[in-house]
Amino acid sequence: MALPLLYAELPFGVQEADRAAWEDQEVQLLADALRSWREKYPEVHVLEDVRLFTPADALVERSMGAGLVVVGRRSESEPGTTARAVLRDARCPVAVVPS
C-alpha cells in the first residue's frame, strides 16, 4: 500500500492518532524558543503555529492572513528554495533576512 501523496511531500509523517500530542509538543518548543524575543519586543505580535506541511507551503498558507512573513537565508548566499517559493507565492510582504 502506498502512502498518500501528501506524505511524500512532508519531511516526516505523523500518524493521525499522534498528531495532537505532536502539535502540542512542537508548539511548546516554539514558544520556549521565542520567549526571550517576546520579552525583548513585546509590541510585536507573534503567532506560534505548527503545520504538517512543507516549510514553504506552511508559510505561503499563513501569509494569507499575515502582515509580513520573515524567512531566513545563509548570510552570503542567495535565497534557498523555501525563501524563493515564499517570495513567489506569498500573499503579503516578505522579508528575507540573513542568519
Three-state secondary-structure class, residue 5: helix
What is the predicted pLDDT for the residue at 1?
Answer: 38
What is the predicted pLDDT for the residue at 5?
Answer: 52
Q: Are 99 and 84 in contact (CB under 8 A)?
A: no
The answer to whether residues 37 and 61 belong to one domain is: no
Q: Are 94 and 68 in contact (CB under 8 A)?
A: yes
Determine what percent of the chain is predicted with pLDDT higher than 90: 47
pLDDT digits (tens, 9 = 90+) for 10-57: 555 666 667 778 888 888 999 999 999 999 999 988 878 887 788 899
Cell numbers 512543507: residue = 54
Contacts of 30 (CB under 8 A, 6+ apart): 48, 50
Cα of first residue to Cα of last residue in the chain, in angstroms, is 42
What is the predicted pLDDT for the residue at 53?
Answer: 83
On whether residue 2 sits in a domain, the answer given is no
On whether residue 8 sits in a domain, the answer given is no
On whether residue 70 sits in a domain, the answer given is yes
The answer to whether residues 46 and 57 belong to one domain is: no
The answer to whether residues 75 and 94 belong to one domain is: yes
Write out the residue range of the structural domain in which residue 37 sits. 15-50
Instruction: Read off the pTM.
Output: 0.65
The answer to whether residues 36 and 63 belong to one domain is: no
The answer to whether residues 46 and 58 belong to one domain is: no
Write phi, then psi, for 42 (nearest 5 degrees). -65, -20
The answer to whether residues 38 and 74 belong to one domain is: no
Cα 85–chain centre separation: 13
pLDDT band (50, 70, 90) for residue 99:
confident
Nearest to 71 by CA among 44, 81, 42: 81
